[in-house]
Amino acid sequence: MSSFALLDIRTRNLSHSGLEHGIQLFKDNGSPYISPIEKNFNDGSYVITFETSSNQDGTNLPYSHFTMLKSVATINDVIRNTRVFLSSYQDAFNLAYYSNSANFTQSGTTFNGDIYSNGNLNNITISGIAYTTSGAGGTLHPEPSPELPSYNSSYFQTIISEVPIDSSGSEEGESFDGWPVAFSNCNKTGADGPSQS
């Protein structure tokens, strides 16, 4: 193997190290608004930059929460560029539609963007990719499967439990001291339930 080929491999590996450094910074900061960083390592150096509006061709990134992390490594006269696209959103939020159900049939609806179903996909119209993990009718989603973040409703349940109840049984609006909004339909639940103004 020639010394230039070895230098090429070392430079590419150094560029990947820059990506790893940038990914860790992105995880730690939770933000892509980080100034370019240059590091020297052995006989080379790398520069990492976060581009929040366009890709390597100058084309706008498809979503406002995307950023392109670019690493440029140099050892002697060899320069290698690597890049990766990052999102501050979890994968499930990068989809036009997310379904965790076993079967998904949605005729008459057009999806603009990628969708995901945990089961079978049937009768869909889509301008994107229909991903599936265990079912049929779509493209197999790579591991790991997208997941929505866990949801703890206790905070919201506490707020709801503190809403005063209309004890009169009437449907007209009622105001309560200390509450900045007026509630109506206080004696109903569900879709017809309390509303605020």
Tens of pLDDT, residues 28-69: 887 778 889 999 987 899 999 999 888 888 888 877 778 899
Give the pLDDT mean for 95-113: 75
Alpha-carbon distance 48 to 53, whole Å? Answer: 16
Q: Which of 101, 123, 140 is the last residue of a domain?
A: 140
3-state class (DSSP) for residue 147:
coil
Output the CA angle 141-146-147, nearest 5 degrees: 155
With contact defined as beta carbons under 8 Å apart, do 62 and 55 qualify? no
What proportions of the chain, in percent to the nearest 5, are helix, strand and coil?
A: 20, 30, 45
> Does 64 share its domain with 96?
no
Length of the chain (residues): 197
Number of H helices, E strands in the chain: 2, 14
Residue that wins the pLDDT comparison between 107 and 174: 107
Asked if the structure places residue 35 within a domain, the reply is yes
Instruction: Quote the pLDDT of residue 36.
Output: 92
Q: Residue 82: give the domain boundaries.
A: 3-87
Tokens of 88: 């501050």
> Does 61 share its domain with 129?
no
Q: For 176-188, what is each residue's pLDDT tens digit?
A: 555 555 556 555 5
> Does 20 share its domain with 50?
yes
> Does 44 share its domain with 111?
no
Give the pLDDT mean for 84-100: 78
Q: For 119-139, what is each residue's pLDDT tens digit?
A: 777 777 888 888 887 667 787
Terminal C-alpha separation, the chain: 76
> Does 7 share its domain with 83?
yes
For the chain, how many structural domains are there in total? Answer: 2
Give the sign of the dihedral formed by CA 178, CA 179, CA 184, CA 185: negative
